[in-house]
Amino acid sequence: MPSTRTAALAAVLSSAASVVAAFTSPAVTSSATSKKSTTSIYSTVDPSVVTKKEYQDICGVDFDDRSMQDRLRKTSYLYPKHVEVIEDFEPLVNQMVDDILLETGEKAWQPQDYLPDLAADDWLQQTKDLREAAEGIPDEVFVVLVGDMVTEEALPTYQTLLNTFEGCDDPIGTTDSAWAKWSRGWTSEENRHGDLLNKYLYLTGKTDMRAIEVTIQHLITSGFNPGARKDPYRGFLYTSFQERATKVSHGNVGKVAKDYGAKDLQRICAKIAGDEGRHEKAYQSFCTEILKRDPDGLLMEFGDMMRGQIVMPAELMTDGKDAQLYENFSAVAQRLGVYTAIDYAEIIQHLVDHWKLGELTGLSPEAEKEQEYICRLPTRYKKLAERSMNKKKDDVVELNSFSWIFDRKA
């Protein structure tokens, strides 16, 4: 038989008015009664009506942030061993937060540092100088620059991805773990890249910003699946590769910009590439720590990932018109030498060398097979890339129109 107090509680919960009273702070109730505005909304239970234990018995959950974190930590994982490994080197992650990430606020670089100051007396001349330098940049460079910028602007998708890695998530949005602090700090730094490139393109007047904005919205809506499968090992293998790829791409765009006299764009690309280089160092360090603790596990995941292909973050981009937009953008980047199949092979080689994968010993027979496969992969990819690129030299270049540059062909 239910107790008198439990029966009374059921009666309280059956009444909407009573529920409001029970789960609202007396201060809020008083404020509402006196028609005074309040900015505080309380999520605590009024102990005079419902005790915490009774709340938990009925709802099955606790209701404060600390209890939520504890509860989530006890939840079954898909990769419990992988979670245990990454938890073991959490102190290193704290070090990366301090040593790799920049200070925020006034001490950090911001997009405005590299753009005309529209509040300055000579704002018009600053803007004219930027536009004059941009006049000499070919459409092909702008196509690649827009593609890179659209990729950076899909940042909400990437933070969402980080939060899917088991053991590395930020369940309440302000979690005080090293992994959550890294995720938020990384996101805050990456956020500047899209802002800076977006504003630069707007000021040049050479691109159709509405078409670009449509593409950004489509890309964020479409999402992104790099095949990480919630596994932190696969997640950090992916980011180790991808951060280096973006560093290479931005750096090469900057070199091309310099060739055409656009020194301001060169500085912008170099600054962004510098960020990507710092982030690359951190993610590759995470994988180094995993190798120290579970080399078999990381090699098995790395080999499995490389039997597919590393998915580029903007693969699902579309402007709503060109169904092959990503492929056409990639073809332009390849012709310019900004990011090629050779770069792809060289990134794999860099990772093999950086992690000294060929020197690992004491592996299981299965991991040894993956070790051999991965170490041979860069040479195989490079040969295929060179053969493909040599073949394409004789092909007639097919130009495609891009809405990003007002349907001009590139």
Q: Are 231 and 78 in contact (CB under 8 A)?
A: yes
Is 109 designated active site? yes
Residue among 90, 109, 187, 213 flagged as catalytic: 109
Question: Was 289 annotated as part of a binding site?
Answer: no
| Paired residues of 402 in beta bridges | 408
CA dist., res. 309 & res. 357, Å (int): 19
Give pLDDT, residue 392. Answer: 76
Question: Was 218 annotated as part of a binding site?
Answer: no
Is 46 designated active site? no
Q: Consecutive 10-residue runs of the chain (410 residues): their mean pLDDT?
A: 49 43 41 41 55 62 61 73 96 92 89 97 98 96 98 96 94 93 96 98 98 98 95 98 97 97 97 97 97 98 94 94 96 95 96 98 98 97 89 82 97
Residue among 148, 169, 189, 275 flagged as catalytic: 275
Is 404 designated active site? no
Is 370 designated active site? no
- 277 CB neighbour count, 10 Å cutoff: 16
Handedness of CA 215, 144, 227, 154 (dihedral sign): negative
Residue among 175, 204, 215, 246 flagged as catalytic: 246
Residue among 139, 186, 193, 404 flagged as catalytic: 193
Is 152 designated active site? yes
Tell whether pTM > 0.95: no
CA dist., res. 170 & res. 135, Å (int): 45
Give pLDDT, residue 134. Answer: 97
Residue spans in the chain of domains classed CATH 1.10.620.20: 77-409
Angle between helices 263-293 and 90-99 (to 10 degrees): 160
Question: Was 103 annotated as part of a binding site?
Answer: no
Is 243 designated active site? yes
- CATH T-level assignment (fold) for domain 77-409: Ribonucleotide Reductase, subunit A (1.10.620)
Give pLDDT, residue 45. Answer: 53
Give pLDDT, residue 71. Answer: 60
Give pLDDT, residue 46. Answer: 62
Sorted by sequence, the CB contacts under 8 Å of residue 271 that are 6+ apart come out as 109, 114, 196
CA dist., res. 290 & res. 246, Å (int): 23
* C-alpha radius of gyration, the chain, whole number: 26
Residue among 153, 169, 189, 243 flagged as catalytic: 243
Q: Are 37 and 31 in contact (CB under 8 A)?
A: yes
- 4 CB neighbour count, 10 Å cutoff: 8
Is 218 designated active site? no
Residue among 148, 153, 264, 276 flagged as catalytic: 276
Query: What amino acid occupies position 325?
Result: L
Give pLDDT, residue 237. Answer: 98
| Paired residues of 134 in beta bridges | none
Give pLDDT, residue 284. Answer: 97
Question: Was 276 annotated as part of a binding site?
Answer: yes
